[in-house]
Amino acid sequence: MNKKISFVGVGPGDPDLLTIKAMKLIQTSEVLFWTDSLIPQKILDFANKNAEKIKTSSLDLNVITEMMITKVKEGKKVVRLHDGDPCLFGAIAEQINILNQSNISCEVIPGISAFQVTASYHQAELTIPGVTQTIILSRAGGRTGMPDRESLHNLASINSSLCLYLSARHVKRAQEVLLESYDPKTKVIVGYRVSWEDGWTALIELKDMEKFTHDKKLIRTTIYIISPALSNFSKSSNLYDPNYKHLFRPK
Ligand SMILES: C[S@@+](CC[C@H](N)C(=O)[O-])C[C@H]1O[C@@H](n2cnc3c(N)ncnc32)[C@H](O)[C@@H]1O
């Protein structure tokens, strides 16, 4: 495999959250494939004005990969943009599989995911010692379906920080199931198009999640972070404890 395509995570929306590596690849690419519904035009504006920009939101997998293969074989530098981090609900595996079969290798450049920017807007730590040390990144069902062992009931049962992508349409059922395991007053950050110009976040309680979602008419580009860590600060970490010794602070 000698030809290469770069799959680049461009973060949640704000162009200032691009990595330097992502920026360099956008600026030097000759053909850019991008999902116009999930990536703001401002990010495309960093590309060379002569670069070919191909919108993919209305194309299917075979059409997209065939076009990528053609452009690479023409000797073009091809970059495929994905929102957030490509490894999360990015559908990159199926693209890379087809490209590899055509003897085209791929690299993946990570990006900031929606859960990270949303937590940052509330200065939230999702791993508070003594409360939870685990973050689950998942979804509340949908047409893709969930493996039985990953039912929302099972995911909720350990009371960790739980980030739900792609779930606004399923909020009624999600709230019902989450309330079987979490306290109704558990804090939830709701994020809509976070870091876009019209985006926002709100801190609510789990018992209000469905009503809030319907009142705000949320359907797309919404993330929920449900976490006991958002209201519990019970114990500081060992790392900065004056009595805790480690390699870099032996005394
Ligand atoms: C197909 S998934 C892609 C996730 C992306 N790869 C990531 O790492 O953030 C799209 C879902 O991600 C979440 N999402 C992506 N960007 C977002 C943003 N700026 N604000 C809120 N949610 C976002 C929403 O749940 C949306 O439905």
Per-residue pLDDT tens for 174-210?
A: 999 999 999 999 999 999 999 999 999 999 999 999 9
Q: Whose CA is nearest to atom 3 of ligand 1?
A: 89
Pocket of ligand 1 (CB under 6 A): 12-13, 83-85, 88-90, 113-114, 165-166, 191-196, 199, 220-223
pLDDT tens profile 88-145 = 999 999 999 999 999 999 999 999 999 999 999 999 999 999 999 999 999 998 788 8
Q: Quick one: pLDDT at residue 152? A: 96
82, 139, 221, 225: residue to mutate for ligand 1 pocket, most atoms within 8 A of CB:
221
15-83-44 Cα angle (round to 5): 45
- 176 by Cβ neighbours in 10 Å (0-12 / 13-18 / 19+) ranks as exposed
Q: Which domains does the chain have, with CATH numbers?
A: 3-109 (3.40.1010.10), 114-230 (3.30.950.10)
How distant is the alpha carbon of residue 205 from its chain centre?
A: 22
Computed over every residue of the chain, the mean pLDDT equals 93
Q: Which atom of ligand 1 is nearest to the CA of 12?
A: 19
Q: Which atom of ligand 1 is nearest to the CA of 85?
A: 8
pLDDT tens profile 27-46 = 999 999 998 888 999 999 99
